Structure 1
Amino acid sequence: MEDGAMKLAEEMEAQVLRSFAEDYLYEAALASVKVKATESLMCGRMTLLHYRMFGGVGDDIYRAAAAVEFMILALDIIDDIQDDDHKAMPWNDLPKNIALNLAIAFLTLSHETLLRCRFPSEHIHKAAMYLSRQVITATNGQTLDLLNNIATEEEYITMVKQKSAALLVCACMIGVILATGDVSPHVEEYAMEIGVSAQIKNDFRDLLNWDHKSDFLQRKRTLPLLFLLSSINQEDERWVADYFEGRLELSDIQHRSEEFAVIVERTGTSMYASFRERSSYYHFREILDSMGLESPWKQALIAAAE
């Protein structure tokens, strides 16, 4: 773990130690933070990066980045409860009512941690307002996802922009606001494109991941799956639509993963997903190029987005 991520993880653990008095909840919170620390902590690191990139100095930004990661962790727990997903995560070892309690605590701790930072009060107020707004936006996006009524590419992009991309925008903008006291429209725009690109990449991966989490097996409407369903034109592909529309059961098709992968390639779904993912990524790069950033910051952002 690099130094910045290590300091961020240490700050999160310190806030957990300070905040959770009940032993059972403390152990669950600490285990959850430790699991997050083994991942990229991408959102918190984006907060750190943008703070430095926009001229911010001092180490209190690690506390703000911890606040961002607590928000992400809270929403991850809620998302897993709603989707009955990611069984290996420590919060899924808890009774659901306790896991929900933990998520509420993390979301509240996110705001409290941000408010306890030592930045100009007007910067903190604006950052806290921005974080609250983006959480509400993400809740709207999550609702669209749960309703599973998406039928077009435009509806999918709207959902992603409101859900996962909104959270990445939030992470970047908290760093900008704390450094400058204001938002950056360029950062909002390119962070949104990074978020859309990442979500399409994840959705294509999950389409083929029948061992752990397949959006197809769950009949979840994602962009790659919508394209696949619209591209089926051969008789030996009809079972895909039959399953998705409920005419076949899981037991009827669960042995057909290799055949499914062939159909994904034959219909051009993988090519389409790659094209759509790269389109958003290249738009991010175009915006970044237009900003005239110094090379080290530009390269750091490119590395974070890939």
Structure 2
Amino acid sequence: MRSEIIEVMNELLDEYVKAEPLNALLKSFIADKAAEHSIWGDITEYSHRMLGGESPFIREIAALTELLILTLDIVDDVQDRDNMEKPWMRCPQEQTINAILAFLMGFMGKLGQLVEHSPQTVPMIQETARIVSRAIDGQHKDLLGHCVESEQDYIAVVQEKSGSLIRLACYMGGFDAPQSDAAAIRLMNELADCIGIMAQINNDVKDVQRYDLKNDLLHKKRTLPILYMLAHCDGKFPALKLFYEGNMSTEQFLRHKPECLAFVADSGCIEYCRIIQSLYYNRAEELFSKIPGRSPWKEKFRETTFASYALDS
């Protein structure tokens, strides 16, 4: 995350959060996020500039994207009870809830200010709410677990949960951009869903190869590689289906660590996921070629969002 984005985020907190202890807590959350390789603000700025935008407020818009994504990340961690090393997981939960509310109010207040400078972007507030609501729908289905029984279910949930975050960053970049018309937005939305799917598959492949508390298998999640393994485990690793059906405890399943990791490596689930990922990469390239864009911003957008998946296609 660029230093100027961090500066804007902290300035926003000073404007909207006057209580010093809460202000300091929120800034510690931002500092933690800033230490990561966060690309959300970059996606917003590159979307804006490749679509012909020259808004003097694009830095503020990019900071708002980072702020909202951080808020959703915090909510996700609180729900999943993982990433326990994060400051928002180490502090009392009631303080984290206040932090979430403060971030949301700051986001809404600042976005309202920016829209005042450009009345034609008033629909931006409603559309932003729709995109975030779509992401929440996907997250809730993911929490319920039973909503994913097939590859089609998985893709649908990932489009909502992960694709919506990319949509958000891109849509925020459309602020006052001359080429951000209805046709461009439709293309960007589908492209965002493709990027979200590729990114989630990548994460799920990594998660299934680890055998600690972050492993999706131990939480009985039904990700794309796990769906494949469940369909091919009979006779090869029956403990997996026994565990998922509730006929084996977590403690018993943990005793099968060597066999589980071997099955993950030999089942073909990783290769299968890479094939599916390559299909969405090809579709992303097709969509991207149809989107108007200025250099070097269009190239920067591609490099930041989905160019790396070409290595796996």
TM-score interval, smaller chain: over 0.9
1:262–1:234 CA distance, 2 compared to 1 (3 A): same
Residue identity opposite 1:74 in structure 2:
T
State whether structure 2 residue 232 is matched by structure 1 residue 234: no
Corresponding residue number in structure 1 for 2:10: 13
1:246 is displaced (CA, Å) by 1.9
Say which SS state the counterpart of residue 41 (structure 2) adopts. Answer: helix
Counterpart Cα distance in 2 of 1:134 and 1:108: 17
Residue identity opposite 1:175 in structure 2:
G
Corresponding residue number in structure 2 for 1:264: 264
Residue identity opposite 1:151 in structure 2:
E
Corresponding residue number in structure 2 for 1:160: 158
User: Normalising by structure 2, what TM-score?
Assistant: 0.90
User: Normalising by structure 1, what TM-score?
Assistant: 0.92
Q: Please, which of 99, 109, 118 is the counterpart of residue 96 of structure 2? A: 99
Corresponding residue number in structure 1 for 2:83: 86
1:153–1:220 CA distance, 2 compared to 1 (3 A): same
Corresponding residue number in structure 2 for 1:201: 202
1:71 is displaced (CA, Å) by 1.3
Equivalenced residues, count: 301
Counterpart Cα distance in 2 of 1:24 and 1:178: 36
Counterpart Cα distance in 1 of 2:167 and 2:209: 28
Partner deviation per Cα, 1:134-184 (whole Å, 9 max, x = no partner):
111111111111110110111111111111211211110111243236442
Corresponding residue number in structure 2 for 1:56: 53
1:15 is displaced (CA, Å) by 1.1
Contact 1:73 1:103 in 2 (8 A): no
Instruction: State the structure with bigger RCO (CA 8 A, min sep 6), 1 or 2.
Output: 2
Contact 1:66 1:110 in 2 (8 A): no
State whether structure 2 residue 218 is matched by structure 1 residue 217: yes
Contact 1:11 1:66 in 2 (8 A): yes
Corresponding residue number in structure 2 for 1:24: 21
Structure 1, unpaired ranges of 5+: none
**RMSD, aligned α-carbons:** 1.8
Corresponding residue number in structure 1 for 2:276: 276
1:58 is displaced (CA, Å) by 4.2
Q: Please, which of 98, 102, 113 is the counterpart of residue 116 of structure 1? A: 113
Which structure 2 residues correspond to residues 128-147 of structure 1 after superposition, within 5 A? 128-147=125-144
Counterpart Cα distance in 1 of 2:206 and 2:223: 11
Counterpart Cα distance in 2 of 1:56 and 1:120: 13
Contact 2:45 2:58 in 1 (8 A): yes
Counterpart Cα distance in 1 of 2:7 and 2:256: 45
Counterpart Cα distance in 2 of 1:304 and 1:111: 27
Counterpart Cα distance in 2 of 1:296 and 1:282: 22
Partner deviation per Cα, 1:89-123 (whole Å, 9 max, x = no partner):
11111211221121122122212122222641221
Counterpart Cα distance in 1 of 2:245 and 2:295: 50
1:59 is displaced (CA, Å) by 3.8
Counterpart Cα distance in 2 of 1:110 and 1:41: 18
Counterpart Cα distance in 1 of 2:265 and 2:293: 39
Counterpart Cα distance in 2 of 1:134 and 1:10: 26
Which structure 2 residues correspond to residues 278-297 of structure 1 after superposition, within 5 A? 278-291=278-291, 293-294=293-294, 296-297=296-297
1:295 is displaced (CA, Å) by 5.2
Residue identity opposite 2:119 in structure 1:
S
Corresponding residue number in structure 2 for 1:148: 145
Contact 2:52 2:294 in 1 (8 A): no
Counterpart Cα distance in 2 of 1:292 and 1:132: 26
1:50–1:292 CA distance, 2 compared to 1 (3 A): closer
Contact 1:196 1:280 in 2 (8 A): yes
Q: Please, which of 122, 127, 130 is the counterpart of residue 124 of structure 2? A: 127
1:104–1:292 CA distance, 2 compared to 1 (3 A): closer
1:211 is displaced (CA, Å) by 2.8
1:255 is displaced (CA, Å) by 4.3
